[in-house]
């Protein structure tokens, strides 16, 4: 029998928190190596990411790599209706702390229409072999992506220890096209 989402979140967050700082740093560098060899990395120009929070795998090396490659980076801004807008993130962007204490671009930062993004990297607590994603539970990405007829490439970023066998999946949960860890790129399409 599948565990419920709440207990699975705790289990996988504990696995993530158990990693040493050295392991986390090595993993974020190894993840970058997995990403930059992918054709979708080389071909796309507009990427949505997030700033790592709560022991998530660091996105800083990936963001810096995208900037170095002259690609455009966008970060989520949480709206009042709990959906996401994606604002451009450069070395000059002013960041503010949102209601959850997570940094996001300040109001007035240039936005990118969801349909124009080519790759969206999503945070996650756990993933499985079918592309199911267990997030933090607020549903921001699910609500935002639900209206799109053809979403961009949706990729999770995770440590290998966040991979589960089978996760519960609700009808409103958006599935991933792939997940990148420090060891592999898992493609689900």
pTM of the model: 0.92
pLDDT at 2: 56
Please give the residue range of the domain that contains residue 61.
Answer: 5-187
**Locus of tokens 């961009």:** 152
Neighbours of 53 (CB within 10 A): 13
Q: What is the DSSP letter of 108?
A: T
List the beta bridge partners of residue 86: 76, 112
- Taking each helix axis from N to C end, the angle separating 21-36 and 60-68, rounded to the nearest 10 degrees, works out to 30
| Confidence label for 1 from pLDDT (cuts 50, 70 and 90) | very low
What does pLDDT average to over the chain? 93
* CATH number, domain containing residue 58: 3.40.50.10420
Q: Quote the CA–CA distance of 185 and 7 in Å, as a whole number.
A: 26
* 38-78 residue pLDDT tens: 999 999 999 999 999 889 999 999 999 999 999 999 999 99
pLDDT at 54: 84
Q: Quote the CA–CA distance of 7 and 1 in Å, as a whole number.
A: 13
For 67, the token pair is 């900037």
150-183 burial code (b ≥16 CB/10 A, e <16): ebbbbbbbbbebbbbeebebeeebbebbbbbbbe
Task: Give yes or no for residue 19 having a pLDDT over 80.
Answer: yes
Nearest to 157 by CA among 37, 36, 52: 52
Total domains present in the chain: 1
Nearest to 138 by CA among 177, 87, 84: 84
Cα dihedral sign, 62-43-83-163: negative
Residue 20's SS3 state is coil
* 97-110 residue pLDDT tens: 998 888 999 988 99
Q: Quote the CA–CA distance of 109 and 111 in Å, as a whole number.
A: 6
């Amino acid at each position: 029998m599948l565990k419920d989402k709440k207990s699975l979140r705790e289990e996988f967050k504990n696995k993530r928190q158990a990693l040493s700082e050295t392991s986390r740093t090595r993993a974020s560098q190894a993840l970058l190596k997995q990403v930059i060899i992918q054709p979708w990395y080389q071909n796309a120009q507009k990427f949505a990411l997030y700033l790592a929070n709560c022991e998530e795998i660091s996105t800083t090396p990936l963001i810096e790599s995208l900037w170095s490659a002259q690609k455009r980076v966008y970060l989520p801004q949480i709206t009042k209706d709990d959906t996401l807008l994606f604002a451009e993130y450069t070395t000059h962007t002013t960041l503010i702390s949102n209601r959850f204490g997570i940094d996001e671009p300040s109001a007035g930062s240039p936005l990118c229409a969801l349909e124009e993004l080519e790759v969206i990297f999503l945070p996650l607590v756990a993933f499985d072999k079918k592309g199911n994603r267990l997030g933090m539970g607020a549903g921001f990405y699910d609500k935002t992506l639900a209206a799109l007829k053809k979403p961009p490439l949706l990729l999770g970023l995770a440590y290998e220890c966040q991979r589960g066998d089978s996760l519960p999946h609700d009808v409103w949960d958006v599935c991933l096209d792939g997940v990148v860890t420090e060891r592999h790129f898992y493609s689900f399409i």
